[in-house]
Amino acid sequence: MVDINTHIDFEKIISKKGFLDLEVDPTLDLFAEIEKLKKEKNAIVLAHYYQEPDIQDIADFIGDSLGLAQKAQSTDAEIIVFAGVHFMAETAKILNPHKKVLLPDLNAGCSLSDSAPPALFKAFKDKHPDHLVITYINCSAGMKALSDIICTSSNAQVIVESLPADQKIIFAPDKNLGAWINKQTGRDMLLWNGACMVHEIFSMEKIIKLKVRHPMAKVIAHPECEAPVLALADYIGSTTGILKYAEKSNAQEFIVVTESGILHQMQKASPNKTFIPAPPQNTCACNDCPYMKLNTLEKLYLCMKYELPEIIMDESLRAAAKKPIERMLEISAKLGI
Ligand code: 13P
Ligand code: SF4
């Protein structure tokens, strides 16, 4: 079959648009094509739980941020295709400098990551030289390079607890996760003022109303939510934690306070249970992460076919960003998380 796209300047499209916006033959079975490309190229598709259902179904591994970083570290595939957002693919590249790491759409950013520009953070850090810096993985490589230890929502609490009680700590960039960890551990970490646009938008009032209508429902929430919303929760944890809780719980109904993509795996694991997505403050679909949802099956297919867009990093930045990620992975491995 002749490839009609042979003479297209792919690099130019990527530099302008951030993804390959080529036409895809609508009669193609994209699931079969992606499977074929995986085998031909020795590629692995890693997907976050917030990806659209089709992408989750074609992925080789679905996970939370920690699980994905661990899988990126251990895979022997030659190409890592990251169906997630930029900081996740960048983390995979930091851990695998000699592998090709692809992201279907380079515009898949993260509001939390954007809330911590490295230059501003450095000025803040320099004012507190006696503090150790723990940074949530949802940040740029520049932020990681300024950090002592990276954490995710799965291991933030144990990482903080692994440090001496009198150790002064700056926690960035998520103020909500930081405040929750302060509450759980009794620490007084200095918090950077960042937040996730998806998790900040849940309405406490609407969740209370839902609880009145569904009194037996368990409220399960991600720690990126604000404190008044977390105060309503029966369980707080990472996306993997929330999924496991919903699967093991005897309850039949759950009010799910995180990005809506997670419902796909919940329904698959427990088809007889009812999962109610928590409503945002207005009528928008704000519990969909607009960045996560930039990835589509078509973009995934094109990205694997043409091996673009690729994550490219400056080597000195990569090496500096690797140290705090490795520290996190070592602590997690030691604690069996
Ligand atoms: P986890 O994957 O650690 O649960 O974090 C959720 C998230 O917002 C990722 O962007
Ligand atoms: Fe970032 Fe929030 Fe989207 Fe996760 S859900 S990628 S934290 S904006």
Closest C-alpha among 61, 104, 132, 133 to residue 293: 104
CB of residue 138 inside a 6 A radius of ligand 2: yes
Residues 176 and 133 placed together within one structural domain of the fold = yes
Q: Which of 247, 269, 240, 245 is nearest to 67 (CA)?
A: 240
Report the nearest atom of ligand 1 relative to the CA of 154.
3
The residue whose C-alpha atom lies closest to atom 9 belonging to ligand 1 is 65
Pair (223, 271) in one structural domain: yes
* Residues 186 and 324 reside in one and the same domain: yes
* 1 domain-assigned: no
Res. 84: pLDDT tops 60: yes
In a domain, 329, yes or no: yes
In a domain, 2, yes or no: no
Tell me the two tokens of residue 26: 């609508």
The structure's pTM equals 0.95
pLDDT computed for residue 6 by the predictor: 66
In this predicted structure, what is the pLDDT of residue 285?
67
Q: Which residues line ligand 1 (CB under 6 A)?
A: 64-65, 138, 152-154, 196, 224, 238-239
Residue ID of nearest Cα to ligand 2 atom 2 = 196
| Band of residue 278 on the pLDDT scale cut at 50, 70, 90 | very high
If asked whether residues 307 and 324 sit together in one domain, one would say no
Note whether 153 and 238 are within 8 A (CB). yes
Task: Output the residue whose Cα is nearest ligand 2's atom 3.
Answer: 289
Per residue in 161-218, pLDDT tens? 999 999 999 999 999 999 999 999 999 999 999 999 999 999 999 999 999 999 999 9
Which protein residue has the closest C-alpha to ligand 1 atom 7?
Answer: 65
122 with 264, same domain: the answer is: no
Q: Which residue has the tokens 């009010």?
A: 255
Do the domain assignments include residue 284? no
List all residues 6 or more positions away from 72 whose beta carbon is below 8 Å from its beta carbon: 46, 80, 82, 91, 92, 95, 96
What is the 111 CA–ligand 2 centroid distance (Å)? 6
Question: Is residue 289 in contact with ligand 2, taking CB distance under 6 Å?
Answer: yes
In a domain, 231, yes or no: yes
Indicate whether 15 pLDDT > 80: yes
Shortest CA distance to 190 belongs to which of 117, 137, 131? 131
Same domain (yes/no): 127, 172: yes
Range of the domain at 219: 202-277
Domain count, the chain: 3
Which atom of ligand 1 is least distant from the CA of 137?
3
pLDDT of residue 3: 64
174 and 39 both lie in a single domain: no
Claim to verify: residue 327 and residue 192 sit in the same structural domain = yes
Q: Are 168 and 131 in contact (CB under 8 A)?
A: yes
Secondary structure tally for the chain: helices H, strands E:
16, 12
Q: CATH number of the domain that 137 lies in?
A: 3.40.50.10800
Same domain, 19 and 97: yes
Q: 188 CA distance to ligand 1 centroid (A)?
A: 23
Convert 151-185 into a string of H (helix), E (strand) and C (coil). ECCCCHHHHHHCCCCCCCEEEECEHHHHHHHHHHH
Strand partners for 227: none
Say yes or no: 91 and 165 in one domain: no
Q: How far is the CA of 67 from the centre of ligand 1 (A)?
A: 10
Task: Determine the atom of ligand 1 nearest the C-alpha atom of 68.
Answer: 2
Residue ranges in the chain assigned as alpha helix (H): 10-17, 30-41, 53-58, 65-74, 86-95, 111-114, 118-126, 141-145, 156-161, 175-185, 204-213, 227-230, 239-248, 263-269, 297-306, 315-335
Q: Ligand 2 center to residue 291 CA distance, Å?
A: 7
Residue bearing the CA closest to ligand 1, atom 2: 64
* Residue range 259-269, pLDDT digits in tens: 999 999 999 99
Do 161 and 183 lie in one domain? The reply is yes
Residue 186 shares a structural domain with residue 228: no
Would 285 be classed as within a structural domain? no
Distance 315 CA to ligand 1 centre (A): 26
Residue 286 lies in a domain: no
